[in-house]
Amino acid sequence: MGGGDGTGEERTGAVRRRFAEAAREERPDLALLCLLIGAEAATRGSLRGGRDTGNGNDGNDNSDNSDDSDNRDGGDGRAVRGAARGAAPDPVDEEAAVDRLVDEGQAELDRLAGLLPFGRGRTPAEWAAALERTLGGELGFGGSAPDYRRLESSLLTEVLRRRRGLPILLSVVWTEVARRAGAPVYGVALPGHFVVGFGDPAGAHVLADPFGGGTQLGEDELAVMVAGATGGTPLSAASLRPAGPLETVLRILNNIRAWAAPRPERSGVRLWAVELSLLLPHHPGRLRFERAQLLVERGHFLRGAREMEEYADVVATMEPNAAENVRRAARAARARLN
């Protein structure tokens, strides 16, 4: 998507290519996809030490493609982030840096799994207790209210380093570590709060809350958690179904978009989150319009207008009024060049 001036998509070609390939695997690797999201953030300079960039100039827009972003948040992956500081890196160097970041993340998950005490024939409750004791207790993985204010809380690379994160990223740590150790484990996308299940989703199982250090959740705790997130909606069987890898990844990217939305100076973060979402096999079609709007906001008026018009053509048959509104927005974007 989009051309470049040396600060755009060619700079993150290694991440985008690998992300698209991983998302289309028959059995997508959740850890790999999450680590690639972290690599995208690092390469874009979205963490400390670089500019928060979006796609490069398309050759027609009068824009320098830069944000005055707040990059004071902590971060790692210096080899990858260095690409966002100056001239575009050699693609081979970038590919090697991304490989290193992904390999280090996978190795850390392997190491954490090796720390779990060996045990045969564990019950679901015993598996949950083992993860709570090791990850939540001994290693201090968990979350608190301030973690919602940090971009790092949505990046697996950073959650593994800081041992802090949002419920969904901590649940990714729990499921990936437990899976490596041989546990029957799965993620559960409760409304407003992601948790982890151990056992058979249709039979004997327990649920645990990694955000709370891995504490097991009874039916009453679950009901209160869901009611608090939805304003009173009762717990349903549909809420407890296992979440697939791509569903989980899309929810993570939605969280990143939501984090960046009230921060105009971080529009570059929102843009790459939208663009990664568009690489998933199934995604909301309206994300195409959101990407076009972001391009216009960032000064890429012609490219944003073109993409708005393309989106309008797609929705015109089913939503003619919406399509006309989009075309009106495209005309307004073109007029901003005058």
pLDDT tens figures, 30-79: 999 999 999 999 888 888 644 555 554 333 333 333 333 333 333 333 44
pTM (2 d.p.): 0.85
Measured distance CA(180)–CA(115) in Å, rounded: 11
Which residues face 312 on adjacent strands?
none
The list of the chain residues with pLDDT below 50 reads 1-11, 49-50, 56-88
State residue 281 phi and psi, 5-degree precision: -55, -35
Measured distance CA(9)–CA(110) in Å, rounded: 31
**Residue 55 one-letter amino acid:** N
Rounded (5°) CA angle 246-56-67: 90
State residue 99 phi and psi, 5-degree precision: -55, -45
State the pLDDT at residue 2: 38
pLDDT tens figures, 114-153: 999 888 889 999 999 999 999 999 999 999 999 999 999 9
Pairing state of beta strands 185-190 and 242-243?
antiparallel
Under 8 Å between Cβ of 71 and 44: no
Record the tokens describing residue 280, joined without a space.
């998933």
Q: Under 8 Å CB-to-CB from 99, ≥6 apart: which residues? A: none
